[in-house]
Amino acid sequence: MVNGEPGQLGMKVSPGDRVKVRGKLLAPKKKDVYIAFNKPVGITSTTENHVKGNIIDFINYPERIFPIGRLDKDSQGLILLTSDGSIVNKILREENNHKKEYIVTVDKNIDEDFIRCMSQGVRIYNPVKRKYVTTKECPVIKINRRKFKIILSQGLNRQIRRMASACGYEVVELERVKIMNISLGKLPIGSWRYLTKEEMDYIEGL
């Protein structure tokens, strides 16, 4: 039944029409949401609303969404959020080797030994697995005296900070600027945007 009348083959149904099948009212399927957010420092990547400064309260989106992965409280930059639980494993699965790009500032001048130490793999403690692990080799490119770009295909807890510490440096600022084919671009800190069709086509093809 469509608006109280028997449905006919080929009949078009518009938003707002009441459609019943065997007496049961059909609810329109909600469209999933996919968001790129430029997280400020101090915001926590959690859905737990009792945590002050949690990401969900900050964005205040009208539908239920949750972050894909994490970006620690002391870091800023790109993090993805969605209402679609089916894509989370696609993006986070480590064996897929999805690349994430960061711009990092450290507390003293960068030398070749530091670049070599960071890029060739660093032995750090993994609190989740409760053991030491060696990080994967990764590209590290010096930008200026104290700033570098690093591209990871891993997602260990506070990985870059732990790597830098093991190499004798302390991270002062850390910004994630890219996840897979999704770039932060000129998105202001504290702002968000919907993913583009091209970005979604890539994710759906994983």
Q: Kindly list the catalytic residues.
A: 72
CA distances from 111 to 8, 26, 76, 164, 167 (A): 74, 64, 25, 12, 11
Sign of the alpha-carbon torsion through 157, 160, 163, 168: negative
Number of helical H runs and strand E runs in the chain: 5, 13
Here the tokens at position 10 are 């080929």
CA distances from 169 to 77, 140, 163 (A): 21, 15, 9
For the chain, helix, strand, coil in percent to 5 are 20, 30, 50
